[in-house]
Every structure is written in C-alpha cells, then in structure tokens.
Amino acid sequence: MAINWFPGHMHKARKEIKKVMPQMDLIIEVLDARIPFSSENPLVPALRQNTPVIKVLNKRDLADPAVTAQWQASLERDKGVRAITLDHQHRDEAMAILKLAREMTAHRNLERSALRVMILGIPNVGKSTLINTLAGRTIAKTGNEPAVTRAQQIIKLPDNVLLYDTPGFLWPKLSPEACGYRLAVTGAIRAAVIEFDDVALFAAEYLLQAYPEALRDRYDLDPLPADGLGVMDAIAARRNFYGRGGVPDLHKVAEVLLNELRAGKLGRISLETPAMVAREAQQALAGSPQA
Ligand code: GDP
C-alpha cells in the first residue's frame, strides 16, 4: 500500500502541535471505538510527555462492548491515561468529560484558572460532533483536509475550559498494513486511497473469523463459505447481484457489505483487539510477514 501523506503538511502539523502541547493542561484524544489502536494519533505518545490524556472511545454504539472494555483496561495501563466510552446520543456523558478533566488536573491547583485542553483526533472519528456537543452549538470545522490551512480554534466551554482544536491534517497510522485496512473499513480512509474491493475482501475475511454468526445472520449464509472471496460470492448469490454474463458483481457486494457494516447492520463489531495488536507488533518485530 503506497500512500503519500503529504510530508509537508505532516511536518507543519507536527510543528504546530509540538509548540502548543507543552502549554496544555490535558489532552482529549478522540478514537474510534472499533479501532482504538489504528485510529490513535501517532503524535500523542511521541509528544505528550507527562500531560494527562482522556482517550474517548467514540462511536461505541458500533463497537463490540466486550472488546471495548478490553481496550479501556489496556489503554489505562499507561500512566496519566483515562479511557472512557461515548456515542453521540449521550450529551450528559460528553459533558462529564469536562468534570473528569478537572479531576485529573486537580492536583495542580488549577481550579480557579481556565483549563487548557487540546482536542485531537484523526478525521471521521467524530471529533467535530463531540466539539459541538461540548460547546452546545455548531462550531466550524478546522481544516482536516491536506489542502486546508486554518488557524487553531480556541473554543470556550462550560466550567472554564478552553478547548484548543488544532488544524492540520492529522494523519492516521498506516503501519502495520492492517491498520490502513481497518481505517478504510470504518471509512476513515477514503476508497480512492485503497482499492474498495480489497477493503471489502479484508472485511469479509475478518468477519468470517471474528464474527461468523453476524455474517451468517445478515446474509443468510449457511453453511458459511471457507474464505472471504467465497463470502462475497455467496452475498452476490443471496442478493442477486450479477453483472453481464451472469458474473457476480463483486463491486456491488463490496459497496453493500461496507455500507451495512459501517451502519451497524451486522451488529456491534470491533475491528481490532488488544491481543491482535500485540501479536501484530511482535510479528513486525520478528520481521515475519503479517497474516
Ligand atoms: P470528524 O471528522 O472527526 O470531525 O468527524 P465528524 O464529527 O464529522 O463525524 C463523522 C461521522 O461520524 C458523521 O457522519 C457523524 O454523524 C458520525 N458520528 C459521530 N459520532 C458518532 C457516534 O458516536 N456514533 C455513530 N454511529 N456515528 C457518529
């Protein structure tokens, strides 16, 4: 997967964040609960030093609750990190983040002054939605696209919190390769970057091994096919997706599978677990090819 993430923009965002980060009392990092590792911003561990972090596992309504609980426990092993779960339907829980931010910084005696909080998140994790919820109004998006350059926004929130929303394209993690695919499955990386049909095939293979019953129930696949391509063929047969000459229309299958998965129609599905990520890291270290 050869992707050019605009090194100039990456450099600029990094410089910007590096400059602002030391002035911050706390960081809110918005993650996609389905991929808490792949949606992490690589800059946070590199630049945060001792600044406390609240990791928001957002879109929890789409993720497997048991796996999300594993992630919470795993992320909180890091010093100064609290991990909470959220979805955009629960304003009260979003507002509780501000209370938690105060608690996590209480030892620093900041009660009477404004709390400076930086919010970070790669595109599509729901950062803007959360900012709007916290602010109680619609705030214009900062530039998430590589070509957009806008000034950093400082948003006044209740409880004397100042939220710093840093512009610049906050690029996602693309290594190991599986991260790129998982990001693409959630829609965080657009189809133009990775071949759409390949993304769907990746999803079909993953579902077959991690959530076979969800596949079977949604597409009435009994018995289940042996591999991802078999799953796609079987969905074509079930939904009658055939092209000219009676060939299965795999592009149509890819579109339907990914749209339905993203919309939660296959149930609550997580795309990575702490154990999977640890295994991949070991494989990368050992230099062995990834499965
Ligand atoms: P940003 O790029 O991180 O600022 O993401 P947005 O706030 O624009 O959200 C991206 C998409 O995710 C939008 O279609 C939102 O409606 C949707 N979204 C945001 N939060 C949630 C959530 O908690 N659950 C679900 N299912 N969708 C969400």
Domain limits, CATH 3.40.50.300, in the chain = 9-165
Rounded to the nearest whole angstrom, what is the distance from the C-alpha of residue 88 to the centroid of ligand 1?
Answer: 8
Put residue 267 in one of left, alpha, beta given phi > 0 → left and psi -120 to 50 → alpha.
left
Q: Using the predicted structure, report yes or no on whether residue 143 has a pLDDT greater than 70.
A: no
177-217, pLDDT tens digit by residue? 889 899 999 988 875 567 889 999 999 999 999 999 999 99
Average pLDDT over the chain, rounded to an integer: 88
* Atom nearest to 89 CA in ligand 1: 23
Between the CA of 94 and the centroid of ligand 1 the distance, in Å, is: 14
- Cβ–ligand 1 distance for 142 under 6 Å, the answer no
**Which of 194, 224, 200, 199 is closest to 211 using CA atoms?**
224
Angstrom distance (rounded) from CA 56 to CA 58: 6
Per-residue pLDDT reduced to its tens digit, 214-236: 999 999 999 999 999 999 999 99
> Which pLDDT value is given to residue 4?
52
Tell how far the Cα of 110 is from the centroid of ligand 1, in angstroms: 32
Q: How far is the CA of 282 from the centre of ligand 1 (A)?
A: 32
Is 144 close to ligand 1, i.e. is its CB under 6 Å away? Answer: yes
Tell me the mean pLDDT in the region 264-276.
98
CATH architecture of 195-282: Orthogonal Bundle (1.10)
Phi-psi region of 209 (alpha: psi -120 to 50; beta: other; left: phi over 0): alpha
Contact 83, 76 (CB under 8 A): yes
Ligand 1 atom 27, closest CA: 59
Nearest Cα residue to 107 out of 50, 158, 164: 50
Which tokens hold the place of 189?
């990386």
Give residue 122's pLDDT: 86
Q: Rounded to the nearest 10 degrees, how much is the dihedral formed by the CA atoms of 276, 278, 283, 287?
A: 140
Say what percent of the chain tops pLDDT 90. 66
Long-range pairs for 263-269: beta carbons < 8 A, 24 or more residues apart: 264/61, 264/62, 265/218, 266/207, 266/211, 266/214, 266/215, 266/218, 267/211, 267/214, 267/218, 268/61, 268/62, 268/63, 268/64, 268/65, 269/34, 269/62, 269/63, 269/64, 269/207, 269/210, 269/211, 269/214
pLDDT at 247: 95
pLDDT tens digits for range 19-56: 888 999 999 999 999 999 999 988 888 888 899 999 99
- Alpha carbon of 240 to ligand 1 centroid (Å): 32
CB 124 less than 6 A from any atom of ligand 1: yes
Taking the centre of ligand 1 as the mean of its atom positions, its distance from the CA of residue 125, in whole angstroms, is: 6
Residue 66 scores a pLDDT above 70: yes
The CA dihedral of 158, 161, 166, 167, to the nearest 10 degrees, is 20
132 Cβ closer than 6 Å to some ligand 1 atom: no
Q: What Cα–Cα distance (Å) separates residue 110 from each residue in 24, 158, 203?
A: 12, 15, 46
User: Which token pair is 166?
Assistant: 């840093």
Q: Looking at domain 9-165, which CATH architecture does it have?
A: 3-Layer(aba) Sandwich (3.40)
Nearest to 191 by CA among 248, 255, 121: 255
Model pLDDT, residue 151: 66
Q: Where exactly does CATH 1.10.1580.10 map onto the chain?
A: 195-282
Per residue in 218-230, is it b (16+ CB within 10 Å) or e — as a string?
A: bbebeebbeebee
pLDDT at residue 102 above 90?
Answer: yes
The protein residue with its alpha carbon nearest to ligand 1, atom 13, reads 126
pLDDT at 135: 96
